[in-house]
Amino acid sequence: MLKSLDVLLFITHCVVILFNLFGWVHPKTRKLHLVVVGLTLFSWLVLGFWKGFGYCILTDWEWDIKRELGERNLPASFIQYLSNNIFGLGWSRIFVDGVTLGSFLLAIVITLKVNFFKGKKV
């Protein structure tokens, strides 16, 4: 049961990340993208005020399950886990956090543009 939940959360997490990055592309998903980006930002900043900047509730849940399954030495972020444990890239936490933040900020700017400044030069 826990292994299935681990796989489900892993897939969900990957889908949320991809949607955060590219959900603005299709006009029919732009409003939903704005909401999902807002929820992610809320988690990172508001919940992060108490749990640490960049806090992700999905990562928290996933790490709880992985620990129950016996996984140890989990990194601070899911993106770090993907880059090192899944893709074997060995990137530093600072690099991964920088790319993650930069990509997310770019996605925020783009979603604000396509949702609120359609047809206007910004």
Check residue 60 and give its pLDDT.
95
Across the chain, what does the average pLDDT equal?
94
Which of the four pLDDT bands, split at 50, 70 and 90, describes residue 120?
low
| Mean pLDDT value of segment 41-56 | 92
Question: Whole-angstrom Cα distance, residue 98 to residue 59?
Answer: 18
The count of domains in the chain is 1
122 occurs within a structural domain:
no
Query: Domain for residue 97, yes or no?
Result: yes
Domain span holding position 110: 2-116
Amino acid at position 122, single letter: V
Q: Is residue 6 part of a domain?
A: yes
Residue 58: inside a domain:
yes
Report whether pLDDT(122) > 60: no
Q: How far is 36 from 14, CA to CA, in rounded Å?
A: 13
**pLDDT at residue 6 greater than cutoff 60:** yes
C-alpha to C-alpha distance for 17 and 56, rounded to whole angstroms: 11
pLDDT, position 121: 61
> Average of pLDDT values for 1-22?
96
The token pair at 72 is: 């140890």
For residue 75, is it within any domain? yes
**Residue 72 falls inside a structural domain:** yes
Give Cα 116 distance to the centre of its chain.
23
Checking if the pLDDT of 119 tops 80, the result is: no
Instruction: For residue 59, give the amino acid letter.
Output: T
User: Does 121 map to a domain?
Assistant: no
Closest CA to 86 of 75, 94, 95: 75
